[in-house]
Structure 1
Amino acid sequence: MKEFGYRRAADVEGAVALLDADPGARFLGGGTNLVDLMKAGVESPGLLVDIRDLPLDAIETTADGGLRIGATVTNSDLAAHPEVRRRYPALAQAVLAGASGQLRNMATVGGNLLQRTRCGYFTDLTRACNKREPGSGCSAIGGEHRNAAVLGASAHCVAVHPSDLGVALAAFDAVVTYQTAQGEGELPLADFYRPVGDTPHRETALPAGALITAVTLPPAPVRSRYRKVRERASYAFAIGSVAAALEVRDGRVQDVRLAYGAVASRPWRARKAEASLNGAAAGPEAFAAAADAELAAAAPLDDNAYKVTLIRNLTIAVLTELAEAALDEEGTAR
C-alpha cells in the first residue's frame, strides 16, 4: 500500500478545505470499501481525511413528514431507527440484506452511496478496465460477465453498482445534500449517478472535493418492501434486487415506486413500469406488464440474460405481496 497522510476533520468546513487544497485526498468514513481498494492498489490517495467525528450522525423528521439522514449515520443505526422501520421499511430491509453486522456497524450512509463496483476486473490491476483506467478497454464484455449489467450499459463498461441501500433510496426519491468550498448543494438521487456512456470512470455528478452531508427522504407510501436475490445464503452482493412502495385504493394503484438493483451501473429507477401501473388494477397481470415495459430495453450479454427473467419475477412477486396486504387492510377497514 502506498504511504499516505491522515487528518481528522473537526468540522465540515475544515474537511472540505483539506480536499480543496489536495485534490488527491479522500474522505474516510467507515472505510469498508476505500481501504480495501487501497490495499488492492486501485485507490492510492496521498491523504485520508477522517470525517467520523463530524456532527452528521443524526436522523431527523423534516417539516413535510420526511426524514433527513446524516451522512455519517452507520448502516446499523439506520436500519434500527424506529421511524425508518415504520415509514420506510424497504430501506431498513435493504440495509439488513446488504452486509454483516460487523460491516453495518462501520459503514456509513454517505460512503455506501459512493462505494465502487465489485466487478472482478476493476480490482484486478492486470486486466483492462475503463472504470479504473480510462481507455484501456472492458475485460468483462468478452470475459466473465454473469453478474454484469443488462440495463443502461455501454460498450465501455458493463459493471453494476453494488449498493442495496442505494436501490431503496432511489425508490424513495432521495435527495443528496453536499458541501464544497463554494457552499452547499443538492442532487436528487436520480441525477446523482452519471450514465455510463464513454466515461465510466466518472461515476457521480458530485462536484470535485464535495462532501456528502445528508440524504433526505420525502414522504412516501408506508407500505414498501425490498427483496434481494444472491448466489449464496450468507451475505453476498445481489444478482438482482427490487425495492418497491405501493399504495392501493379501491383495488387500483394510486402510487407506486419501483427500483432495481444489480442490473445497471447505478440503482435503476423503473419509470416505465411505474407509468404503466398508475391507475391500473392492482394484480399480477398488470405487474407483469409493467415489468415487461421496463425490461424491454434490456440488452443482456451471453451469460446474464437470466437477470431479465429474475427481475421480472421479483417485480411481480414483491408488488403482489404489497397489493395483497393493501387489499386485506382495505377489506378490514370496511
Structure 2
Amino acid sequence: MKIGLDVLGGDYAPDSTINGAIEAQKALQEGQRLVLIGDQQDTVERLKQAGADPEKFEYVHAPENIGMHEHPTKAISQKPNSSIAKGFELLKNGEIDSFASAGNTGAMLVGAVFSVKAIPGVLRPAIATNVPKIKSGYGILLDVGANADCKPEMLSQFATLGSLYMEYVYGLQNPKVGLLNIGEEEEKGNNLTISTYPLLKENKKINFIGNTEGRDLFTDAADVYVCDGFTGNVVLKLAESFYVVTLKKGFKDEFFDRFNYERYGGSPILGVNAPVIIGHGISTPEAIKNMVLLSKDMIESQIIDKIKSAFN
C-alpha cells in the first residue's frame, strides 16, 4: 500500500504536512508506505530536523506548488511539476493507491475528475463530510461543494455513494438516507428536492427514510444526508463555525469537539476511480495525520471496487 501525500498543500505547509506525516507513519503497519510529494531535498532535511528517519518514507520530487488562489484548470496544466499535478499523475498510473492534499480544493477536484476520472456510470463525483451526532459517532453529508447545481439523478447517485461509504468505510450496515429539505412532507421543497424524492424512493440500493430538515442533521434521524453542493457547503461552513464559537466562549463539550475538522482530517471525493481526500486549507499536523489514516481506511475497505460494482 502506498499513500500519497501532498507535502506543499495547505496554509501551513510544509511544516504542518511533514509533522503530520511523521505522526501518521507511526500508525502505519508493515507494507504501508507514505509517499511524500514535494521538494524532495527540503522534505528530507525537515524530516531530519524533526528527528524522524527519512528512510521510513518514499519521495517524489515535485518542487512547484499550486497556490490557494490560482485558477485550478490553468494551474494543473501549466504546472506539471506541482505537487498536486504530480500526485494525480502517480495516482492515474497506479504508482500510489490514494492521494491526499490540503492544497487548492479546485485543483484537487479538477485533477480527480479529469485525471483519475469518474467511475463509469457516475454522473458527477461528490464531496462528503462528517456530521457529528449528538449521542455518538458521525453521519455524512454530501455533496458539500463539488456541484453547486444538481439534477435529481445526481442526488440519487449521491445517496448511493454515501450509503456505500458509510457501509464499507465506517462499517454501518443498511445506513439510513435522508433528503435534506425544508419539511418532512413528500411534496415539500423546491423543484430539485420534489423531483429527487421519487427517485430516492425507487432507488433499491439505499435505505431511504424520507425528507429530513436542518434540525435533524445532528440526530439519529439519518446516517447519510443528501443535498446539492451549494446547500451542503453552506451547512458545512456553518457547522464548522460551531466549534470556533465554543472555543471563543470557553465552552467545553464533547459533542462540539467533534465538529473539529482535525478529528477526521479531510473529505473524500466519492465517485472517482481512486481514493482522493481533500484536507482543510488550515490543516494542522493532527489533521494531516488523520487525513492519511482516512486514506488508509479507504484503501483497505476497497470502497472504489464497491462503488464500481454498484454502478456497473
Looking at secondary structure, tell me which structure has more helix per residue: 2
Between 1 and 2, higher relative CO (CA 8 Å, sep ≥ 6) is seen in 2
Q: Which has the larger radius of gyration?
A: 1
**TM-score (normalizing by structure 2):** 0.29
**TM-score (normalizing by structure 1):** 0.28
